[in-house]
Amino acid sequence: MTTAADYTGKIPNNVSLHEDRRLQRALESWQPNFLNWWQTMGPTLPTQDVYLRTAVNVGRDGWAQFGHVAMPEYRWGIFLAERDPGRRVGFGEHKGEPVWDKVPGEYRAELQRLIVIQGDTEPASVEQQRNLGATAPSLYDLRNLFQVNVEEGRHLWAMVYLLHAYFGREGREEAEELLHRNSGSLDAPRILGAFNEETPDWLSFFMFTYFTDRDGKYQLGTLKESAFDPLSRTCEFMLKEEAHHMMVGTTGVDRVVQRTVEVMREHDTDDVAGLGAIPLPVIQKYLNFHYSVSLDLFGGETSTNVANYYTAGLKGRWLEDRRRDDHKLTSDSIMVDALSEEAGTDEQSIGQTEVSALVGLNTDLRREYISDCQGGVKRWNRILEEGGVKQRLHLPHVAFNRKVGAFAGIEATPAGEKLSAEEWQRRQGAWLPTEVDKTYVRSLMQPVHQRGKIAAWIAPPRNGINGQPFDYDYVHLA
């Protein structure tokens, strides 16, 4: 059952906003604050218009249209996937009961918290990426950056709609706060660690869209299972848009690796710094950083929060309905990564421990994510292999550079060997980007804003957007 999208009002939507004047007015009064945030915290590069995809409906016959749009006039809308009237709770203590159209009083605080955390990441990423337009390697990449940005803006709308529609005054206050916290702010930072890190260059942007957006895919996937049906439906639709963001990351890193291989071969050297390409060890360090901060986004290896979310039916597992168990997990267990005491000493070593499956659910999701990330490394290594280069990229060990969870208090090498704090200080520059690496990468970030041209540190894409060629006029600069 779907309601046709309504494009006539100030806020495009398929939630019959016009039938609830109070809600409509509340969202319409949030809208200017959103636009003000977009103008002050959004993309800084002045443009006339950008070739953008806009969500227009949720059905199977196409949900998006493409066209040149002036960005502040982008039609950010509220779109929920179609309602399945027979849908039932798939897990937890309410398994088998009809899903909820309203928020049950006893779960209000937890649901609001999950929605606020999800909502907080969306504008955060736009803030992190706001200056990248000035150094885009091509108009194609510039367009993709802006596409990602406007859609993260729409995902903020998706969460703000839920807060306004289902959480009363507190929800409206939280919606305001989402525009007041800022990435990296000392006074009011974004909630989760990775969203306060900088995205100062395009290699970081591609790593972010590969690794951090992929956390988004997995978190949205678990919220899509929620018994709170409006949350489930909004996440289902967000996942459609998310696929493009990850394509930007995957193919972005592909193209950086590709170009590095070409320059290595052309000059018969591994040392491509100074030859205009990004050396493989630097790519590995950026990978190590973005992967490890993204692992933190899954929370602790064990968590009573996540056990409660699951039992209550608020947040499920990745592909819950494909799991062959009772979907309640009350008597199951799981091995999770942990520090274990070494017999007879005060030492702790990196190992595993058995815990109840419910408290180990963050680990379950993190493992799904890790195996997906291995897919990226595999494809980048294929590019290296096909280019005749012997080096390979790797995912670092789960204990490497962690700030959240079981390994937050220790240091470890990318191979998973425990290190003293002093040794970590001495050696971390071999594994994480140093100021020298970052300065070199930044020195390559010279804008290429001419149609059909591309920077020397990255290969062109195989395909353009929506069937258009690479040299299409994706962006008209102001």
**Cα 201 from Cα 269, distance rounded (Å):** 25
* Strand partners for 475: 50
Q: Which of residues 394-433 bind ligand BYC (CB under 6 A)?
A: 404
Q: By CB under 6 A, tell whether 236 contacts ligand BYC.
A: no
Tell the smallest beta-carbon distance from residue 226 to ligand BYC (Å): 11
What is the spatial distance between Cα 300 and Cα 434, in angstroms, rounded to a whole number?
A: 27
Among 127, 141, 197, 213, binds ligand BYC (CB under 6 A): 213
Long-range contacts (CB closer than 8 Å, 24 or more residues apart) made by 165-168: 165/15, 165/20, 165/23, 165/230, 166/102, 166/103, 166/230, 167/103, 167/108, 167/112, 167/115
Q: Does residue 298 touch ligand BYC according to CB under 6 A?
A: yes
- Segment near ligand BYC (CB under 6 A), from 177-185, 262-270, 295-303, 324-332? 295-303
Query: CA nearest 27: which of 77, 63, 102, 80?
Result: 77
**Per-residue x/- marks for ligand BYC, 303-342, CB under 6 A?**
x-xx--------x---------------------------
Q: Which is nearer to ligand BYC, 71 or 277 (CB)?
A: 71
Among 182, 219, 232, 251, binds ligand BYC (CB under 6 A): 219
Name the minimum Å distance from CB 358 to ligand BYC.
11
Q: How far is the CB of 32 from ligand BYC (least distance, A)?
A: 23
- Whose Cβ is closer to ligand BYC: residue 45's or residue 192's? 192
Give whichever of 24 and 292 is closer to ligand BYC, judged by the CB atom.
292
Integer Rg of the chain from CA: 23
Contact between 296 and ligand BYC per CB under 6 A:
yes
Binding-site string for ligand BYC from residue 94 to residue 133, where x marks contact by CB under 6 A and - marks none: --------------------x--xx--xx--x--------
Task: State whether the Cα torsion 226-232-235-240 is positive or negative.
Answer: positive
The answer to the question of residue 24 lying near ligand BYC (CB under 6 A) is: no
Of 151, 159, 158, 157, which is closest to residue 129 (Cα–Cα)?
A: 151
Structure token pair of residue 415: 């191979």
Using CB under 6 A as the binding rule, whether residue 193 contacts ligand BYC is answered as yes
List the one residue from 300, 360, 460, 461 that touches ligand BYC (CB under 6 A): 300
Binding-site ranges for ligand BYC (CB under 6 A): 114, 117-118, 121-122, 125, 152, 192-193, 212-213, 215-216, 219, 296-300, 303, 305-306, 315, 362, 404
